[in-house]
Amino acid sequence: MAKTPVVDTDLCIGCGSCVEVCPEVFELRDDKAWVIGPDKCDTCNCEEAANICPVEAIKFE
Ligand code: SF4
Protein backbone atom coordinates (compact mmCIF):
# COMPACT_ATOMS: atom_id res chain seq x y z
CA MET A 1 0.00 0.00 0.00
CA ALA A 2 1.27 3.47 -0.88
CA LYS A 3 2.49 5.69 1.89
CA THR A 4 0.60 8.90 2.56
CA PRO A 5 2.74 12.06 2.55
CA VAL A 6 2.15 14.59 5.29
CA VAL A 7 3.79 17.99 5.74
CA ASP A 8 4.97 19.11 9.15
CA THR A 9 3.88 22.73 8.88
CA ASP A 10 6.00 23.71 11.85
CA LEU A 11 9.08 22.72 9.87
CA CYS A 12 7.98 23.81 6.38
CA ILE A 13 9.58 27.08 5.23
CA GLY A 14 7.44 27.37 2.11
CA CYS A 15 10.31 27.08 -0.34
CA GLY A 16 8.02 25.48 -2.92
CA SER A 17 10.43 22.73 -3.98
CA CYS A 18 7.93 19.96 -3.32
CA VAL A 19 5.31 21.82 -5.34
CA GLU A 20 7.77 22.10 -8.22
CA VAL A 21 8.51 18.40 -8.31
CA CYS A 22 4.98 17.24 -7.45
CA PRO A 23 2.31 19.85 -8.27
CA GLU A 24 -0.30 17.12 -8.26
CA VAL A 25 0.45 16.26 -4.67
CA PHE A 26 1.50 19.53 -3.02
CA GLU A 27 0.26 23.11 -3.12
CA LEU A 28 1.50 26.23 -1.35
CA ARG A 29 -1.07 27.95 0.84
CA ASP A 30 -0.08 30.83 3.08
CA ASP A 31 3.60 29.95 2.56
CA LYS A 32 3.19 26.38 3.73
CA ALA A 33 2.96 23.24 1.68
CA TRP A 34 -0.34 21.38 1.82
CA VAL A 35 -0.97 17.88 0.62
CA ILE A 36 -3.75 18.23 -1.94
CA GLY A 37 -3.37 14.86 -3.64
CA PRO A 38 -1.94 12.30 -1.23
CA ASP A 39 -2.54 9.48 -3.71
CA LYS A 40 -1.51 11.36 -6.86
CA CYS A 41 2.10 10.20 -6.95
CA ASP A 42 2.32 6.99 -8.90
CA THR A 43 6.03 7.07 -9.61
CA CYS A 44 8.08 7.42 -6.44
CA ASN A 45 5.69 7.45 -3.47
CA CYS A 46 6.73 11.08 -2.99
CA GLU A 47 10.27 10.05 -2.16
CA GLU A 48 11.61 12.70 -4.53
CA ALA A 49 9.70 15.49 -2.82
CA ALA A 50 10.70 14.21 0.60
CA ASN A 51 14.34 14.09 -0.46
CA ILE A 52 14.34 17.56 -2.02
CA CYS A 53 12.75 19.24 1.01
CA PRO A 54 15.54 21.26 2.69
CA VAL A 55 14.07 20.91 6.17
CA GLU A 56 12.78 17.32 5.97
CA ALA A 57 9.23 18.47 6.60
CA ILE A 58 7.68 15.77 4.41
CA LYS A 59 6.95 12.62 6.36
CA PHE A 60 4.83 9.59 5.71
CA GLU A 61 2.09 7.92 7.64
S1 SF4 B 1 9.96 21.34 0.07
FE2 SF4 B 1 9.66 21.23 2.32
S3 SF4 B 1 10.03 23.32 3.08
FE4 SF4 B 1 9.74 23.45 0.86
S5 SF4 B 1 7.54 23.91 0.63
FE6 SF4 B 1 7.78 21.68 0.49
S7 SF4 B 1 7.46 20.90 2.58
FE8 SF4 B 1 7.84 23.11 2.72
Residue of 2, 52, 1, 54 lying closest to 22 (CA atoms): 52
d(Cα 4, Cα 60) in Å, to the nearest integer?
5
Per 3-state DSSP, the chain is made up of helix, strand and coil in percentages (nearest 5) of 20, 25, 60
Residue to mutate (ligand 1; options 17, 27, 34, 59; most atoms within 8 A of CB): 17
Question: What is the Cα 23 distance to its own chain's centre?
Answer: 9
Ligand 1 binding pocket (C-beta < 6 A) is 7, 12-18, 33, 53-55, 57-58
pLDDT digits (tens, 9 = 90+) for 27-60: 999 999 999 999 998 888 889 999 999 999 999 9
Determine the number of helices (DSSP H) and then strands (DSSP E) in the chain: 2, 4
* CATH assignment of 5-60, among 3.30.70.20, 2.40.30.10, 3.30.70.330, 2.160.20.10: 3.30.70.20
Q: Span 9-34, mean pLDDT?
A: 97
